[in-house]
Amino acid sequence: MTTGVKAVDQLIEKFGILSSPGQDKFQRLTHLFGGDKRADSLPFCMYQKVMGAPVSRRFTVHHFYLPYKNCKLASFMFNEKGELIEQVYFTKMSRMVNVCRKLQRILLEEKDLREYASQGMLQQGKRQKDREWAQTEQFAA
């Protein structure tokens, strides 16, 4: 999927989309728990959600940056189920807002793929256990 802005497409090609905590020039992915002090640097709407949540809740925050302009592009907050609960676009230009929306779609598709793959692995493991059980002496007798 292309975003419509060549520079952003090149950043995605070069860095990809992070799926585990880390950072590079284009993005940063962080896990936060309810009441986490690191939420101070988040946009206020995200800060409120983190600070108002119990410590047992986990949030994933994905920030995107434009290194060639040295500015923030967008931030997305997901709950522990992988559902998007908050988003902030740091631009008002309609072209860049469309880029943010496409990044959001990419993130949601990636989370769906990971969830589907993990469920597929669970199903595969379950089928393997069923096969092993079917081959036991107890079942064969």
pLDDT tens digits, one per residue of 89-115? 999 999 999 999 999 999 998 877 666
Total length of the chain: 141
On the question of pLDDT at 128 being above 70, the answer is no
Beta strands in the chain (DSSP E): 22-23, 27-33, 58-66, 71-78, 84-89
**Interatomic CA distance for residues 11 and 60, integer angstroms:** 21
- Is pTM, for the whole model, over 0.85? no
Query: What is the rounded distance in angstroms from the CA atom of residue 42 to the CA atom of residue 20?
Result: 19
Q: Residue 117 and residue 38: Cα distance in Å, rounded?
A: 31
Q: In the chain, how many domains are there?
A: 1
Percentage of the chain beyond pLDDT 90 is 68
Domain range for 82? 5-138
